[in-house]
Amino acid sequence: MEQYVIKGGNPLVGEVEIGGAKNAALAILAASIMADETVTIDNLPDVRDINVLLGAIQEIGAIVDRVDAHTVKINGSTISAMSVDYEYIKKIRASYYLLGALLGKYKRAEVALPGGCDIGSRPIDLHLKGFRALGAKVDIQHGLIAAEAEHLKGTHIYLDKVSVGATINIMMAAAMADGKTIIENAAKEPHVVDVANFLNSMGAAIRGAGTDVIRIVGVEKLHKTEYSIIPDQIEAGTFMFAAAATRGDVTVKNVIPKHLEATTAKLLEVGCEVEEFDDAVRVVCAKPMHHTQVTTLPYPGFPTDMQPQMAVILGIAQGTSTVTESIFENRFKYVDELTRMGATIKVESNIAIITGVERYTGARVSAPDLRAGAALVIAGLAAEGITIVDDIYYIERGYEHFEEKLASLGAQIEKVSSEKEIQKFTLKVS
């Protein structure tokens, strides 16, 4: 089992390059199998979830040619199986995108019920409601979701809750349905737009992505394309917050500043400076930070995927702050770990009440999920002394070369896999 070992206290300074958006890439990879020609996808993040999904895509018979770490060519003309029960796929949430993609293309799909980070109950009723509305028969049996239709027929779908996954999944199936589909109360996240742009580049007819009404006219076939994935707004936000927590000065490059507005707004509120460029943002945080309130909301609101990182900042900001989690009910599992590093946080229902302390103190902590794991690393970078973060498997699901990028900004962090290596690091930095 690997760990991160961190000696905190160094302000992060310098420039860091952000990779492609994991959550856009997962959906785009699944959608790529809908063409019978070769699709080239660039700016792919080289992270665990992506590699697991590529394994599953290969397993069902598609040709997957990994040109390099960030580029893949996929050809879906050789798909032979409609059933995805790949051993690892259950562990990634985005496996459900193969349902929409296979159902749209072949009108038939069987996919293992998805797992993913344990951040609360994660139903997929809205996805299934959408498929049924398009005319599919959907059953759940033996841990598999099976969907089948003679024809998919365009329809009007209202989503009771704003869901990124359901919006994308329904959009994929509807892209190859007969006639026109309208999705109302659609998610507006940048990656929803990116998936729509990708499908359109393959010949789909999708309008309105990025607003709450998406209109899709089904087409019979999708064709080859070359596509570059948008930058990861959550990876970018994580580095922006790491800069703030360590009182650093970091320029985060290869981003779309518009996608970072909610993150930037909170940094300004706590007293940091944020300078925006065409495709970069610079965060400088020299003065003491102060308290604020934040509530997670669907885009363009403050992202739930930045909630733990925000709490880490507020834990060392002056005064009392509140963080309200309105998307997932179980996303405060890092609070006990952060408390062990000296934070003063009380959770009442879906609200964390945080009283800022002067500094964190290094401790041994476990990453409970992907974003919370990244947040604990940020706390370690800001802490006095040595922090060891266990279970970094979660962090590697979504952050590419996390420790290397942080080290390039002056962080003292190493990936280790034994107590001996931890001791060696401790001796080196003391």
Interface positions with ligand EPZ (CB under 6 A): 23, 26, 93-94, 117, 119, 122-127, 161, 163-166, 187, 304-305, 327-328, 370-371, 398
Structural contact between residues 349 and 385, judged by C-beta atoms closer than 8 angstroms: no
Please tell me the distance from the alpha carbon of residue 269 to that of residue 310, in angstroms, as a whole number: 12
Least separation in angstroms between CB 284 and ligand EPZ: 27
Q: 147 or 363, CB closer to ligand EPZ?
A: 147
Residue among 388, 40, 394 at smallest CA distance from 229: 40
Least separation in angstroms between CB 13 and ligand EPZ: 27
Least separation in angstroms between CB 321 and ligand EPZ: 21
Please tell me the distance from the alpha carbon of residue 398 to that of residue 306, in angstroms, as a whole number: 13
Please tell me the distance from the alpha carbon of residue 28 to that of residue 253, in angstroms, as a whole number: 23
Structural contact between residues 274 and 282, judged by C-beta atoms closer than 8 angstroms: yes
User: Which residue's Cβ has the minimum distance to ligand EPZ?
Assistant: 165
CA dihedral (228, 163, 301, 16) in degrees, to 10, reads -30
Q: 168 or 280, CB closer to ligand EPZ?
A: 168
Structural contact between residues 361 and 382, judged by C-beta atoms closer than 8 angstroms: no
Least separation in angstroms between CB 227 and ligand EPZ: 18
Tokens of 249: 């000065």
User: What residues are paired with 92 via a beta bridge?
Assistant: none
Least separation in angstroms between CB 24 and ligand EPZ: 8
Tokens of 104: 């749209």
Least separation in angstroms between CB 92 and ligand EPZ: 7
Q: 46 or 178, CB closer to ligand EPZ?
A: 46
Known catalytic residues are: 117
Q: 362 or 373, CB closer to ligand EPZ?
A: 373
Residue among 358, 318, 308 at smallest CA distance from 338: 308
Give, rounded to a whole angstrom, the gap between the first and last alpha carbons of the chain.
24
Q: 164 or 313, CB closer to ligand EPZ?
A: 164
Q: HSE on the CB side for 124, CA within 13 Å?
A: 26
Q: 399 or 425, CB closer to ligand EPZ?
A: 399
Q: 151 or 161, CB closer to ligand EPZ?
A: 161
Q: 385 or 398, CB closer to ligand EPZ?
A: 398
Least separation in angstroms between CB 420 and ligand EPZ: 32
Least separation in angstroms between CB 290 and ligand EPZ: 27
Residue 176 C-alpha from the chain's centroid: 26
